[in-house]
Amino acid sequence: MSIALSGLLSEQGALGITTNNVANANTPGYSRQRPVLIEGNPVLEGSLTFGSGVVLANVQSLRDPILELRLNDETQQHSQLDTMVSAMQQIEVMFSGSNGDLGTQITNFFNSLQQLSGNAPSLSARQGVLSAAGNVANSFRTTVSNLRAQRSSLDLGVGQTVEQINVVTEQIAKLNQQISAIENLHQDAGTFVDQRTTLVRQLSEMVDVSVVKSDNTLTITTSSGYALVAGDRSFAVTNQLDPSGVQHIVS
């Protein structure tokens, strides 16, 4: 009877794991789990040994470290390209698209010069050149102002990204501590590992990082070598402007 009961309890636990997998099929970052069933401790009666059934020993999360690493790399590249394209599209609008854009005004200016070269004594042609030159100058000033505004917007975005990076790295460090404590007790920390994996992917969208796993924790550094997370410690970063005006994220 006890053997049958152990089988029922183990299968009930396994069914619960399967149900959890189905419920989280569309949950971002969730890793499928499977039950780890082992033979129960044998019972010794006299010179005979009897089996005691089956035991649900643990819950194992199924992950592919190589696939996760590849996914982080692809996330970084996609995020970098997406940011670059978005910025370039905004700049492109400044140089094209309307009758008052810089390209149109430059074309009008050279057309007015061509008209003047064919009729130098014409006062209207001369006035046309002066007017076109003024329009070009105004268009240059407007474009420069727009570019500066765009630069300020990008710099503000970098500052906001730095704040998000510091929040995420602090959360990853705390999860490192929790995961290490749980797995040192030989228990499954799958839920926390899933949360950490999701955070690492979010971090990859904001900054180019290198991730190394060791002793149930992650060590994360930037491509420039600055430490972001080491075990249960996180290191705050800030944005710094170099002499050429380029923003850098430093620790």
Q: Is the CB of residue 217 less than 8 Å from the CB of residue 231?
A: yes
Alpha-carbon span 159 to 240, nearest angstrom: 10
Check pLDDT > 70 for residue 6: no
| Per-position DSSP letters for 13-60, written without gaps between them | HHHHHHHHHHHTTT-TT---EEEEEEEPPPEEETTEEE---EEEEEEE
Instruction: Give CA–CA dist 12/33, Å, rounded.
Output: 15
Is 100's pLDDT higher than 70? no
Query: Which one has a higher pLDDT value, 202 or 74?
Result: 202
Tokens of 107: 């074309």
Please list, in sequence order, all residues whose beta carbon lies within 8 angstroms of the beta carbon of residue 109, skipping any fewer than 6 positions away. Answer: 129, 132, 133, 135, 136
Please list the alpha-helical segments (H only) found in the chain: 2-23, 65-95, 102-118, 123-183, 190-206
CA distance linking residue 171 with residue 5, whole number of Å: 42
If pLDDT is split at 50, 70 and 90, which confidence band does 177 have?
very high
Task: Using the CB atoms, write b or e for 39-64: b if 16+ within 10 Å.
Answer: ebeeeeeeeeeeeebbbbeebebeee
Question: 159 or 218, which is more confident?
Answer: 218
Spatial distance between the Cα atoms of 205 and 195, rounded to a whole number of angstroms: 16
CA distance 216 to 194: 13
Q: How far apart are CA 177 and CA 207, in angstroms?
A: 23
Q: What is the mean pLDDT of residues 77-85?
A: 75
CA distance 203 to 200: 5
- pLDDT band per the 50, 70, 90 thresholds, residue 224: confident
What is the value of pTM for the model shown? 0.67
pLDDT of 203 higher than 60: yes
The residue among 195 and 49 whose pLDDT is bigger is: 195
Q: Which of 90-104, 170-184, 213-227, 237-251 has the highest mean pLDDT?
A: 170-184
Higher pLDDT, 187 or 53: 187
